Structure 1
């Protein structure tokens, strides 16, 4: 078992990633991805010049994947599952280098048990790839410290470049990496080590620099809504990163046990890799013009938490290691189940409850339209008075079968035509409305008359020409059938 220390964690993570993979409804972050990857490559590149450049590599990669494997939820989520699976192997190999083979195996299995690992393996965003890049960078750094050759430093530079291109925030891992280099230099006094590290990191920064500049210009629009973090936010975020309050308590206990395992230097290093990036982003977000302090932006610390947890599990005898893993699995199970429910993907701060919106069940809304659709029906989307990133139109189109494609009677320019993430609505509703005898009005539910969810101009025309025949409400959404007067 210990000869292939990476295999069992990889298989366990693959199994966790596949658990109920098709069950959760896509939420609006994932729908933004769907909106982009359905476009031709040229259109994607044109959009990236205006918005979301930091996710460009992921969008282009997933576009190619979807071209081959399709656009079903399972197909689009598989790349993330495979990325987390590879990250588990890196975690196990890193743990073996720092603490020994048993700790590596235990750490890799602990990684698979963390609720956020299985949950965000299934997110149709880049977070699983950030975790993979960060775990690979840590492993390649340790290999370079063992034998500081040009080739090994090049591998580390490549991993850091990949980390930057899938999520710029992850570059903050350079801080604990610098500590690892300093500790190694203090022991060996080999000046080639810090020199190689600095050159490798500068190479990565130079490679990512164009994206850094573009991302700076787009940051205010994309993440300007994130609040400056407080001390309370810092206290709460650890459970959001690891995926549960009890899981976090268990991992902290295991981290403490790692300091008694006879390898204090490695225990300090792994703990710093897990905690310091979070503290650094918290402080940066308090000083910078925009905040980056979101739990999903900090999942790249998960590998380090798993490594230090594995060290704690290995600090006891084999029976204790097995018992500890079983206990961790039991503690994590309720959170794992909660994170794979139909509307769980909208709970992006779990276990802290999201209170400012109700999860939107695009799948249920589309099913209502599908069941009642008649040839000649039109469709409209009541999102004009809300931020367009709710993706009411994208979510409804995604879950409607291809045989049902009613005309969008209030459509303006599409997101593709605008080289943007979001479309516009028709500027002349009276002219855009056609002869449709019935219109399905699908909107984000605000608890009021569905017609009040469109623009004032569109509302006036709709009320003049149509009457509301049916109103259906599902989680976060309203589906109204409007019949021509």
Structure 2
């Protein structure tokens, strides 16, 4: 056979390479961003008013955000310096959109929504589009996230900033561009200024980079950014340390069980071969941010109790990333995908009851609106009013109408003029003398209050014990309201001893 005759045969054996079968592309990037955003907004708006009630910490935000910026600053010199930037932000929001209940909570809803999109983009970059969509949808379903998405406090904003700082970290690792690291550092610093414990996320990021063995220039760039964050936070940390008495109510870990459960679930999920894209693996990023902040607070609590679940709300970023990537991994294992989705449906069904419960006034440790309404209902015009202890005055301060007809027997200077949260009280002897001028006193005591130690509160309780008798007590969520009458007053008005009946409290919005 000639060469010319063989040529076609050789040509037919050389065929173009067959491309490998491509996996399904999964959801588009826009879907990974928009779907979690929409779901979070829907969940956040569902029951956002909580029957028109407000709990004590939200009441503090409501009161301080209605003061002008100079008053907020002067108040922060006495208490709540760690939240002063948040109060200033809310003051501006109230000025633009009005100071109602929805305005109080909507910034948190929007912040968590932005965080959900950030979680989706993180998982997309590290494990693919389907993992990104699943992680972004898991995040707003987590009970702790649902809870604080509807609270007028700083924790949702901090969570959003830490989420996007984490995203900035991931996209900065392959690059040496200074502006990327500047974005990361400034975002983390803003999160820390809103709440100091956001700095624990910085520790988690450092561990992620060390375990990932990133190049020295990257580690050096992160170290410079982290040093800038610490330097910017240091003045706030030093001055706020003098106000540590305001967290004296923490007697031990608060809601520790949730943290332990999600930490165990997350570590189990991390054992699966989750996303391997880029210089940082998903599990190496997610596990430290899930576990380390809470663990460091627990270790610190051996010296001074500081662990409260909302202080490290951003740790939910880690569990959402792990759960989303884990579901994506099992979905790709065709034989087990059916069982995975059965488990997902069961988990969603189990979330219905907690989701409903979180949107009731009873889901919070107190109900400042109901406490104020009870004081107004049980008191008569001209009655005396006492707070046991004085710091509990904030529980009825959101609606001045609730206490307007009563005389605050211990108050020397109101909270606004004194630049405090609860006002300034009279000396103990003057309080006792004023109490003896009244035949009826309405006393408010927070549930679970510690024993009284200052002279003013001791004078209140001792005078009540010696000269008054309890005529009736009404228990509401977070407090009890007791009407006291002088021993020489045998005939208080009929009906004052009737127990408090549940009703829809009024709010000043």
What TM-score does the superposition give when structure 1 sets the normalisation length? 0.79
C-alpha distance after superposition, 1:387-428 (max 9, x if no partner): x44x3x333242565895544344222233443333233332
Q: Judge conservation of contact 2:274–2:325 (CA < 8 Å) in 1.
A: no
- Residue of structure 2 in register with 1:223 after alignment: 247
1:442 Cα deviation after fit: 4.0
C-alpha distance after superposition, 1:426-449 (max 9, x if no partner): 3324775799897654444799xx
Q: Judge conservation of contact 1:241–1:296 (CA < 8 Å) in 2.
A: no
Match of 2:306, SS state, is: coil
Aligned with 1:64 (options 87, 92, 98): 92
Q: CA RMSD in A?
A: 3.6
- Residue of structure 2 in register with 1:305 after alignment: 319
- Residue of structure 2 in register with 1:273 after alignment: 289
Q: Judge conservation of contact 1:10–1:89 (CA < 8 Å) in 2.
A: yes
C-alpha distance after superposition, 1:212-252 (max 9, x if no partner): 22122323x123454577xxx9xx73x4248xx5x777655
Match of 1:156, SS state, is: helix
Q: Judge conservation of contact 2:375–2:403 (CA < 8 Å) in 1.
A: no
Match of 1:477, SS state, is: strand
Aligned with 2:357 (options 334, 338, 341): 338
Alignment partners' CA distance in 1, 2:396 and 2:301: 35
Instruction: Pick the structure with greater CA Rg.
Output: 2
Aligned with 1:3 (options 11, 26, 29): 29
- Residue of structure 2 in register with 1:283 after alignment: 299
Alignment partners' CA distance in 1, 2:403 and 2:68: 22
Alignment CA distance shift 1:435-1:40 (3 Å): farther
Unmatched 5+ stretches in structure 1: 347-359, 448-453
Alignment of 1:392-471 (within 5 A): 393-399=393-399, 401=401, 406-427=406-427, 428-429=430-431, 440-444=442-446, 455=457, 471=473
Alignment partners' CA distance in 1, 2:432 and 2:213: 73
- Residue of structure 2 in register with 1:22 after alignment: 49
- Residue of structure 2 in register with 1:363 after alignment: 369
Q: Judge conservation of contact 2:375–2:402 (CA < 8 Å) in 1.
A: no
Alignment partners' CA distance in 2, 1:302 and 1:55: 21
- Residue of structure 2 in register with 1:356 after alignment: none
1:132 Cα deviation after fit: 1.1
Alignment partners' CA distance in 2, 1:277 and 1:369: 40
- Residue of structure 2 in register with 1:210 after alignment: 235
Aligned with 1:142 (options 156, 170, 179): 170
1:467 Cα deviation after fit: 8.4
Alignment partners' CA distance in 2, 1:283 and 1:173: 16
Q: Judge conservation of contact 2:115–2:163 (CA < 8 Å) in 1.
A: yes
Match of 2:313, SS state, is: helix
C-alpha distance after superposition, 1:336-386 (max 9, x if no partner): 23333212111xxxxxxxxxxxxx443334334545776x544513323xx
Match of 1:315, SS state, is: helix
Match of 1:176, SS state, is: helix
Unmatched 5+ stretches in structure 2: 1-26, 450-455, 490-509
1:471 Cα deviation after fit: 4.9
458-467 vs 261-270, which moves further? 458-467
Alignment partners' CA distance in 2, 1:70 and 1:426: 35
- 1:328 maps to 2:347: yes
Alignment CA distance shift 1:8-1:293 (3 Å): same
Aligned with 2:226 (options 177, 198, 201): 201
Alignment partners' CA distance in 1, 2:464 and 2:250: 36
1:165 Cα deviation after fit: 0.5
Q: Judge conservation of contact 1:164–1:208 (CA < 8 Å) in 2.
A: yes
Alignment partners' CA distance in 2, 1:337 and 1:256: 33
Alignment CA distance shift 1:411-1:316 (3 Å): same
Alignment partners' CA distance in 1, 2:410 and 2:420: 18
Alignment CA distance shift 1:365-1:184 (3 Å): closer
Alignment partners' CA distance in 1, 2:207 and 2:461: 61
